[in-house]
Chains A and B, each alone.
Chain A
Amino acid sequence: MTGGLPEVLRIGPARLTAGLDRWDRMDLASHRAVFGSVPRPSAGQLIDMAEQVDLRGRGGASFPLARKLQAVRSAAQTRRCRPVILVNATEGEPGSAKDKSLLFRSPHLVLDGALIAAEALDARRIVVAVAGSGPHIGSVRAAVKTDPELAGRTRIVIVPDRFVSGEGGALVNAVNGRPALPPGRKVRASDRGVDGLPTLLSNAETFAQLATLAMLDADGYASVGTRSEPGTVLLTVGGSARRPAVVEAPSGTPLGEILDICEVAPAAGVLVGGYHGAWLPPDATETIPVSRSGLAAAGGTLGPGIILPIGPQTCALGEVARVAAYLAEESSGQCGPCMLGLPAVARSVAALVRGSGGMDSVDNARRRAAMVRGRGACAHPDGAFRFVASALDVFADDLAAHTFRGSCGHPVRGTLPLGGAETQARLTVDWTRCRGHGLCAKLAPEVIQLDEHGYPDILDMPVPPWLTRQAGQAVEMCPALALRLTTPLPSGREAALAAPEAALAAPEAVWDDVWDQDLSVTESWIAEIGGTA
C-alpha cells in the first residue's frame, strides 16, 4: 500500500505497470531507464497506430482515440491554431484508483503520453486535471517540475472531487474557470475545449496507453490481448476483495483469474464498470473475458475498468441502496429528471430494502430508474439506471427476502466505497417533536416526502450542495422545530484525511533510494513486453 492507494498487480507482461514491481514511485531517471526516451511520431503515424490497435478512451466512454486525434488535428488545421492537450485524471468514481495509482507511481508515463500527443499535434500547452487531494497531486507536480520538456507548458488544475467533475464538458468548464458542471448543449472538446481551442481530452490511462503504443509501435503493442482489442487493460478491483489492487492484465483475461489474484472469495455478485456499470451474477463470472466486447456480451460494461465484487456476508440490496443514494446526491442538480428522478429511484430502492414498498416495490424501482434514462445533459442518469436495473436482476433472491421478510438477515457492511461525503450535513428529524405539518416536504421534495400518515420520509443521504438552500429553509420553517441539519462527528474522517497528507511526503522519501537501484532494465523490459522473454 502506498499513499492510501491499493497495490499494483499484473497478469502477463507489464506495460503501464512496468517498473512498479521495483519502485514505489518512478522518478524521471528510473522512468527513462525502464521506458527509454520519448518517441516522436508524427500526427499521421500516431493516428495510424491508434487506428491499427483500435485504442479507445479508458475513462468509461470508450471513444476511439484515433478519431479524437483526427478531429483535433483537422480542427486545428482549419482554424490555424495550436490545440491543447487535456489529461483527465479526475477519477470521480469512488471505486476507481487506476489513474491515481498511475499518476502517483508512474507519473512520467502519463506525461509522456501527453507529450507525444502534444508534439504530434503541435500543441503547446498541456493541462492535467486532478480532483480533490491526495498523494498523486504532489507526485505529478514534482514530475512536471523535473521534466524540462514539460516544465514551461504544463499546468495542473485541481477540480472539485465530485462524480460529475470528470465528465468531459464539466471538466472543460472547470479548467476554463467556470463551475465544474456538464454543459446543457454538447460541445465536443475537439472543437472547443480549453480557452475555446481544439482540445485533445482523454483519460490519464489513455495517455499512458498512447505512450506505450508509441514506444512499442502497433505490432509490439498488439502482441498481447485479443485480436479485436489488443493491449492490456488497467483495472481497479475492490469491494470484498481481500487484496484490493490495481491490476494490469491483457484484454480478454478471464474475470475469474483477476478475481483470484485479488483473493476474492466466492461473490454474491460482481459489479463491472463502476457505478455507471452493471452487475453480473456470480455463476457467470469465472470465464467472462475482460474486454469491452466480452463484458458487453455478458450484459456488463468495461467502463473505466472498475470491478467490485461483493461477498455473501453483506446485504447486497442495502449496498445498492447506499450507492443509489450516493448517485442521487452526486447529481449536479441541473436537469430536472435527474435531480428529482435519482432521489426517487434511491427512495424506491430504500423502501425495497426496508421491506416497506409492498408487492409492487420492485416494479416501482425499475420504473423510476427507467424514467431517468437519456434525460440529462450528461450520462449520469443513464449510468444510474444501468446500475439499479442490473442490481434488481442479479439480486432477485434478495429482493424476495426483503419484500416478504423485510430483510435478508445480513447487515450492510459498506463494502462498496462511496466518495468523501461523510462531512456533509444530513437532515434529521426529532420524532418526538414532529407533528407532521408537512412544510418540509413542500420545501425540499427532492429529499423529503410524506408517508401515508403525513410524516416525513427523509432520504438517507447527505444534503447535496444544490439543495442546501431548500434544506435550510425546511429547517427554518418547520413549525415544530423538529428538523435539524446535523454534521456527523469527523472521527473516522480525520484518520482518512491524515493518511494522504502523510503520503504527500512520500515521493521525496522514495527518490532518495532510487539511485541505489539497478537502472539498466530497458532491454529486459522491451523483451518482456515484446513477449520474447
Chain B
Amino acid sequence: MSASRDRATQLRDPGPRAEDEDPPRHRGAFRLLLFLAFFVIPVLACGAAAVYTGEGHTITAAVQRFLLFYAGVFALVALTAAVGAGLLATDRIIMSPGHRIVMQAVHRAISLLALAALATHIVLEIMAHKARTIDAFVPFLAHGRTFYIGLGTIASDLVVLIVATGLVRRRFARGRAPWSWRLLHATAYLAWPLAIWHGLLAGRTAKPYVDWSYGACVAAVLLALLVRLAATARTRPSRGRRASSQRRTWAAAKREGHELP
C-alpha cells in the first residue's frame, strides 16, 4: 500500500486499521440490520399487501384516483410556497441570519415536496392516458389543449432544472461562474407563472376563489420581488454604475492632464 493512499484512508476513516488482526466490525452489520428492520421490510410488506389482497386493491385505486385529482394542485401550491419561502429567505430587512437559515431550509424542503408532487402528477396523467410520455418532456406535442399542457411541460422542465442545480449549489460556489447559478435559479420566476397558467386552464375549470388566490399570490410575489431588487440595488452598486463612475474619474484625470493606464 502506498504511503499516500494509506494516509488518505486514515484521514477519512477515524477508526483504526489493524495489521495483524481485524478489530471488531460489528457496527456496520448492526446498521444494516436496523435499515432492514425499519425500512426495507415494512416497505416490502406494504407493497405485498397492496398487490395481493382485495382491500389492498381498493385502497390503491382510491389513492390513485385521489392523487390524479389533486397531485397537480399539490404541486402548484407547493411551488407557490417554495417561491414565497425562497423570496422571504433573501430578506435582510425583517429577518435575522438565523431566521434566514431556517427559511432557506424550509424553501428547500418545500421545493423537494413540489418536485415529488409534480412527478406524481405527471406519472398519473400518463397512466390515465391524458398525456403521453413525450409530453412530459417536450412541450406543444399533446393532442387537445396542446398549448396549455405545453405550458405545464415547460414549467416542469424548468422546475427539474432549478431543483437539480439547487442541489449542487456548492459546486457553483466553487466553480468559475457563481453568478450562473443565480441566473438559472431566477428562471423560477418564469416557471412559476407558467405553472399557474397551466394549472388554471389545462384541466378542469377552476373555482373563482382559486383564480383570486393565485392572482393574489402573483401580486404578492411581484411586490416582494420589487422590494428585493430595490434592496439589492441599494447595498450593491451595479457593474454599470461602477464602470461609469470609473469613466468619470478617468475623464477628470484626463482634463487635468494625467497619464491614463
Contacts and interface: CB of A to CB of B under 8 A. Distances in A.
Tell me which of A176, A481, A485 has the highest count of chain B C-beta atoms within 10 A of its own C-beta. Answer: A481
A477 B166 CA distance: 10
Nearest to B23: A177
Nearest to B1: A133
A478 interface: yes
Contacts of A156: 18-20
Nearest to A421: B11
Interface string B4-22: 1011001101111111110
A484 B173 CA distance: 6
Given A160-B10, A437-B100, A501 B2 contact: yes
Interface string A492-507: 0010011011001000
Interface centre among B3, B6, B89, B100 (most CB of A within 10 A): B3
Given A133-B3, A160-B11, A501-B2, 17 more contacts: A133-B7, A155-B18, A157-B17, A157-B18, A175-B23, A176-B23, A177-B15, A178-B15, A423-B11, A424-B11, A433-B178, A442-B98, A442-B101, A476-B173, A478-B173, A481-B178, A501-B4
Interface string B175-189: 000110110000000
Contacts of A160: 10-11, 13-14, 16
Interface string A424-467: 10000010010101110111000000000000000000000100
Given A178-B15, A435-B235, A437-B100, A132 B10 contact: yes
A481 B169 contact: yes
Interface residues on A, range: 35 or more
B97 interface: yes
B16 A174 contact: yes
A424 B10 CA distance: 12
Contacts of B179: 481
Contacts of A178: 15
A161 interface: yes
Interface string A210-253: 00000000000000000000000000000000000000000000
A161 B170 contact: no
Interface of B: 2-4, 6-7, 10-11, 13-21, 23-25, 89-90, 92, 97-98, 100-101, 104, 169-170, 172-174, 178-179, 181-182, 235-236
Interface string A140-160: 010000000000001111111
A158 B16 contact: yes
B16 A159 contact: yes
19 contacts: A133-B6, A155-B21, A160-B11, A160-B14, A160-B16, A174-B16, A175-B23, A179-B15, A180-B15, A430-B178, A437-B92, A437-B100, A438-B97, A441-B97, A476-B173, A481-B172, A482-B173, A497-B3, A497-B4
Contacts of A481: 169, 172-173, 178-179, 181-182
A278 B172 CA distance: 45
A420 B7 contact: yes
Contacts of B104: 439, 477
Given A161-B10, A437-B97, A180 B16 contact: yes
A439 B19 contact: no
Interface string A298-310: 0000000000000
Contacts of A441: 97
Interface string A396-428: 000000000000000000000000100110000
Given A155-B21, A175-B16, A484-B173, A443 B100 contact: no
Contact of A176 (B19, B24, B89, B236): B24
B117 to A, nearest CB: 24
Contact of B14 (A132, A179, A437): A179
Given A476-B169, A501-B2, A485 B174 contact: yes
A479 interface: yes
A481 B182 CA distance: 9
A423 B7 CA distance: 10
Given A157-B16, A439-B97, A442-B97, A177 B4 contact: no
